């Protein structure tokens, strides 16, 4: 991280720094307190969740909540469904997205730039605007109420193509040119040079896609009516309606829906940040 | 990028080889894009185009699409629910966009300095953005509870005698949703601003400092102009994001109490997928689509004029 104000800080080591830390500490508290409260409430009794004054830590941790929830809900099915969808969607995104991105960044064909503009343009169209025609189409071909609807919906996004293209543009053309001269085909260049070079970008795209699919609520809400197909988000929502007085268990379920994402996020944190930064640069 | 060859008599061997070579390269190029484009064209582009046709029809699940011209749109003019949804969407956007912009830029400026714990903070700020809306909406709903909710208890401690009912009150439900929206998204936009700040040349700051510019003047005359591409991108993304807000509201308030937090996306969902009025829902979608395009085009125009 480049620092711009190091010199100013050195000149006035006092106030500015202290204010900076105070603001940071307050902001961090504000950001993390809801999560902290969620975890701590998941270990309380139902009555203690809304105790007055607020208790930030449970008196006696109710670990039993974490056993109980598996017994009374279909948590396992929901998690399995969500993992399946997230993994398949992510793989397809990586495959077709990076393949197309290579075409847009390094290959030449007539109409390439116009087509890419169409891709970019649709990123600015909210999904909610065309979900109705999409739904009609999916029901015509009988994909509604199957996991394939969600997979079809998420796997070919324009965002992945855009992100990967941004990355491929940073790889010098001379590299591909040299490979061509050496007799490597375009596919050879993609598989043997570009793909290995773009592992960081692929990791970014994989993490962003995985998280998006895992957290998606509206897609499954529209397409997955059968409780056996529900994702964790749908399951959690229905659980809340069914057990609306059992605040502690509701928080237990919420924690369980967040934990896998938290783990994925912490493991791949660097790539998340890179992916977001790349997608924000001009191309 | 044209495939016709210029110069050289047509039909010679060398020319034919060249043309064949180019055609082959074009085909290869297309083959890269094709797998993704098949899915994209069928599932995104197709529906976007179909949307306009459907918006001019009367169509529900059992019947066939019947062309009715502008009827859906004229009906929208008199639809109180639509007015409410449109106004609420603008209400949400009017607060969500500037607030998120200000907070995320402020945090990015703060983090762009050498302070201990910056790495930890960046992670913390990004965390709400990756966690599921359902889980955080549920947690915040409990935090916002009217009587013994932690937020109202804290407000009581600092001397607010009559704390708002938040999601239970038609006046406070929208502010509650906006607060959670800003909280969730500020980390994402902060990262974009941080990336943008890396592109500000330190020499410019140095020069301004030598000229005696204070921190505020340096921010206004050096940082902000250099950040313009980032600010532009962030504003466009934030606007589209605000116009399509849905999940958060659906889980937190379900559009209520009454219709106080009903937004356009939810109205589309309601009309189209709950009541199965495809044509009417598509007309609302066209309005949402037009709004996003309008704002994006205006922002592009303003951005271009500033850059000129």
Residues A86 and A200 reside in one and the same domain: yes
- CB–CB contact A129 B285 (8 Å): yes
Place of tokens 């964790």: A232
Q: Which residues of B touch A125 (CB under 8 A)?
A: 48, 289, 292-293
B66 φ/ψ angles, rounded to the nearest 5 degrees: -120, 125
Residues 12-31 of A with CB under 8 A from B: 17, 20-21, 23-24, 27-28, 30-31
| Apex B211 CA angle, B207 and B214, nearest 5 | 95
Residues B244-267: what's their mean pLDDT? Answer: 90
Whether A186 is covered by a domain: the verdict is yes
- CB–CB contact A24 B110 (8 Å): yes
pLDDT score of A2 more than 60: no
Indicate which CATH number applies to the domain containing A93. Answer: 1.10.3720.10
Residues A21 and A119 reside in one and the same domain: no
Which of A105, A113, A125, A233 is best to mutate for the B interface (most B CBs within 10 A)? A125
Looking at every residue in chain B, the average pLDDT score rounds to: 86
Whether A64 is covered by a domain: the verdict is no
User: How many Cβ atoms sit within 10 Å of the Cβ of residue A32?
Assistant: 14
Radius of gyration from C-alpha coordinates of chain A = 24
Place of tokens 């921190």: B215
**Minimal-distance CA residue of chain B relative to A121:** B293
What pLDDT shows up at residue A13?
57
Q: Which residues of B touch A215 (CB under 8 A)?
A: 130-134
Under the banding of pLDDT at 50, 70 and 90, the label for residue A147 is: very high
Which of A22, A30, A34 is best to mutate for the B interface (most B CBs within 10 A)? A34
Q: Which two tokens stand for residue B232?
A: 């532009």
Q: What percent of chain A has pLDDT over 70?
A: 94
Residues B291-296: what's their mean pLDDT? Answer: 89
> Does residue B37 contact residue B48 with C-beta atoms inside 8 Å?
no
Residues A193 and A232 reside in one and the same domain: yes
- CB–CB contact A5 B197 (8 Å): no
Q: Which two tokens stand for residue A64?
A: 């039993």
Distance separating alpha carbons of residues A15 and A273, to the nearest angstrom:
30
- CB–CB contact A5 B233 (8 Å): no
Whether A46 is covered by a domain: the verdict is no
CA nearest to B250, candidates B85, B130, B128: B85
What pLDDT shows up at residue A47?
77
Q: Which two tokens stand for residue B27?
A: 């085909």
Q: Which two tokens stand for residue B39?
A: 């899915």
Distance separating alpha carbons of residues B20 and B14, to the nearest angstrom:
10
Query: DSSP letter at B60?
Result: B
Residues A15 and A97 reside in one and the same domain: no
What pLDDT shows up at residue B296?
86
pLDDT per position as a tens digit, A199-215: 989 998 999 899 999 99
> Does residue A217 contact residue B133 with C-beta atoms inside 8 Å?
yes
Distance separating alpha carbons of residues A199 and A211, to the nearest angstrom:
18
Residues A36 and A110 reside in one and the same domain: no
pLDDT per position as a tens digit, A39-82: 988 888 777 777 777 777 877 788 878 888 888 888 899 999 99
pLDDT per position as a tens digit, A89-133: 999 999 999 999 999 998 888 889 999 999 888 888 888 889 999
What pLDDT shows up at residue B181?
95
Which of B2, B3, B43 is best to mutate for the A interface (most A CBs within 10 A)? B43
What pLDDT shows up at residue A234?
93
Whether A57 is covered by a domain: the verdict is no
Residues A102 and A166 reside in one and the same domain: yes
Its domain, for residue A254, covers 71-279
What pLDDT shows up at residue B9?
54
What pLDDT shows up at residue A79?
93
What pLDDT shows up at residue A4?
47
Whether A54 is covered by a domain: the verdict is no
**Minimal-distance CA residue of chain A relative to B26:** A109
Interchain CB contacts (distance < 8 Å): A and B: 317
> Does residue B38 contact residue A120 with C-beta atoms inside 8 Å?
no
Smallest Cβ–Cβ distance between B29 and the set A109, A236, A237 belongs to: A109
Better pLDDT: B235 or A55: B235
- Beta strand B57-58 pairing with B66-67: antiparallel
pLDDT score of B204 more than 90: no
- CB–CB contact B48 A107 (8 Å): no
What pLDDT shows up at residue B149?
81
- CB–CB contact B133 A49 (8 Å): no
Distance separating alpha carbons of residues A122 and A159, to the nearest angstrom:
9
Residues A184-201: what's their mean pLDDT? Answer: 88
- CB–CB contact A257 B132 (8 Å): yes
Residues A113 and A29 reside in one and the same domain: no
Q: Which residues of A touch B197 (CB under 8 A)?
A: 4
What pLDDT shows up at residue B12?
67
Whether A49 is covered by a domain: the verdict is no
Given 3.20.20.70, 1.20.1260.10, 1.10.3720.10, 3.40.50.720, which CATH number is that of B74-307? 1.10.3720.10
pLDDT per position as a tens digit, B63-85: 777 888 788 899 888 889 999 99
Please give the C-alpha separations between residue A221 and each of A64, A226, B245, B252, in angstroms, as whole numbers. 30, 10, 15, 15
Please give the C-alpha separations between residue A47 and each of A22, A44, A54, A99, B1, in angstroms, as whole numbers. 34, 8, 12, 54, 70
Residues 158-187 of A with CB under 8 A from B: 158, 161, 185-187
- Domains in chain A: how many in total? 2
> Does residue A61 contact residue A181 with C-beta atoms inside 8 Å?
no
Residues 232-261 of A with CB under 8 A from B: 232-233, 236-237, 240, 247, 250-251, 254-255, 257-258, 261
Residues A17 and A150 reside in one and the same domain: no
pLDDT score of A1 more than 50: no
pLDDT score of A266 more than 60: yes
The model carries a pTM of 0.88
Smallest Cβ–Cβ distance between A211 and the set B39, B45, B130 belongs to: B130
- CB–CB contact A282 B134 (8 Å): no
pLDDT score of A5 more than 90: no
Under the banding of pLDDT at 50, 70 and 90, the label for residue B179 is: very high
B277 φ/ψ angles, rounded to the nearest 5 degrees: -95, 85
Under the banding of pLDDT at 50, 70 and 90, the label for residue B3 is: very low
Whether A247 is covered by a domain: the verdict is yes
- CB–CB contact A128 B285 (8 Å): yes
Q: Which residues of B touch A269 (CB under 8 A)?
A: 123, 126
Residues A34 and A112 reside in one and the same domain: no
Distance separating alpha carbons of residues B238 and B99, to the nearest angstrom:
11
pLDDT per position as a tens digit, B102-159: 999 999 988 888 777 788 888 888 889 888 889 999 989 888 888 778 888 888 888 7
Q: Which residues of A touch B278 (CB under 8 A)?
A: 132, 136
Distance separating alpha carbons of residues A215 and A257, to the nearest angstrom:
9
Please give the C-alpha separations between residue B307 and each of A3, B110, B218, B235, B304, in angstroms, as whole numbers. 27, 27, 19, 16, 5
User: Is the peptide bond prior to B140 cis by the omega test (within 30 degrees of 0)?
Assistant: no
* B146 in reach of chain A (CB within 8 A): no
What pLDDT shows up at residue B1?
43
Residues A154 and A78 reside in one and the same domain: yes
Query: DSSP letter at B66?
Result: E
What pLDDT shows up at residue B98?
96
Residues A11 and A121 reside in one and the same domain: no
Residues A98 and A149 reside in one and the same domain: yes
Whether A167 is covered by a domain: the verdict is yes
User: How many Cβ atoms sit within 10 Å of the Cβ of residue A76?
Assistant: 10
What pLDDT shows up at residue B180?
94
CA nearest to A122, candidates A165, A96, A156: A156
Under the banding of pLDDT at 50, 70 and 90, the label for residue A3 is: very low
């Amino acid at each position: 991280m480049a620092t711009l104000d190091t010199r100013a800080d050195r000149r006035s080591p006092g106030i500015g720094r202290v204010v900076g830390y105070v603001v940071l500490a307050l902001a961090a508290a504000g950001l993390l307190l809801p999560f902290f409260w969620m975890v701590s409430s998941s270990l309380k009794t139902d009555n203690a969740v809304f105790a007055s004054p607020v208790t930030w830590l449970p008196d006696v941790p109710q670990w039993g909540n974490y056993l109980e929830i598996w017994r009374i809900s279909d948590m396992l099915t929901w998690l399995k469904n969500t993992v399946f969808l997230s993994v398949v969607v992510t793989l397809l995104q990586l495959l077709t997205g990076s393949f197309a991105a290579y075409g847009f960044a390094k290959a030449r064909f007539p109409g390439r730039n116009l087509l890419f503009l169409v891709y970019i343009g649709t990123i600015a169209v909210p999904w909610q605007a065309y979900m109705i025609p999409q739904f009609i189409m999916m029901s015509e071909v009988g994909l509604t109420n199957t996991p394939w609807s969600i997979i079809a919906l998420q796997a070919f996004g324009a965002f992945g193509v855009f992100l990967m293209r941004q990355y491929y543009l940073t790889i010098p053309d001379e590299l591909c040119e040299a490979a061509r001269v050496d007799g490597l085909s375009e596919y050879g260049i993609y598989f043997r040079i570009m793909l290995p070079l773009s592992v960081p970008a692929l990791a970014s795209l994989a993490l962003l896609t995985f998280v998006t699919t895992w957290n998606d609520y509206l897609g499954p809400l529209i397409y997955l009516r059968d409780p056996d197909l529900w994702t964790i988000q749908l399951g959690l929502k229905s659980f809340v309606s069914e057990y609306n007085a059992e605040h502690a268990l509701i928080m237990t379920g919420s924690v369980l829906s967040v934990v896998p994402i938290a783990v994925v996020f912490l493991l791949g944190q660097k790539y998340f940040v890179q992916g977001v930064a790349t997608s924000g640069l001009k191309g | 990028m044209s495939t016709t060859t210029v110069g050289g008599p047509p039909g010679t061997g060398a020319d034919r080889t060249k043309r064949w070579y180019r055609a082959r390269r074009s085909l290869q190029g297309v083959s890269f894009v094709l797998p993704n484009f098949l899915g994209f064209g069928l599932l995104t582009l197709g529906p976007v185009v179909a949307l306009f046709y459907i918006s001019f029809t009367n169509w529900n699940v059992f019947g066939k699409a019947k062309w009715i011209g502008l009827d859906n749109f004229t009906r929208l003019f008199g639809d109180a629910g639509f007015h409410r949804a449109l106004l609420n969407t603008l209400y949400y956007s009017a607060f969500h966009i500037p607030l998120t912009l200000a907070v995320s830029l402020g945090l990015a400026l703060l983090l762009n300095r050498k302070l201990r714990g910056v790495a930890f903070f960046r992670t913390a700020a990004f965390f709400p953005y990756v966690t599921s809306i359902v889980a955080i909406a549920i947690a915040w709903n409990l935090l916002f509870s009217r009587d013994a909710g932690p937020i109202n208890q804290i407000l009581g401690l600092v001397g607010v005698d009559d704390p708002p009912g938040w999601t239970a009150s038609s006046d406070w439900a929208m502010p509650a949703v906006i607060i959670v929206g800003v909280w969730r998204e500020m980390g994402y936009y902060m990262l974009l601003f941080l990336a943008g700040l890396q592109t500000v040349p330190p020499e410019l700051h140095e020069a301004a400092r030598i000229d005696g510019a204070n921190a505020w003047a340096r921010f206004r005359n050096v940082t902000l102009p250099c950040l313009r591409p980032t600010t532009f991108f962030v504003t466009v993304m934030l606007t589209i994001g605000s116009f399509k807000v849905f999940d958060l509201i659906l889980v937190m308030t379900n559009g209520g109490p009454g219709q106080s937090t009903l937004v356009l996306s939810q109205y589309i969902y309601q009309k189209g997928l709950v009541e199965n009025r495809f044509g009417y829902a598509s007309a609302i979608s066209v309005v949402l689509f037009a709004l996003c395009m309008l704002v994006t085009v205006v922002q592009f125009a303003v951005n271009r004029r500033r850059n000129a």
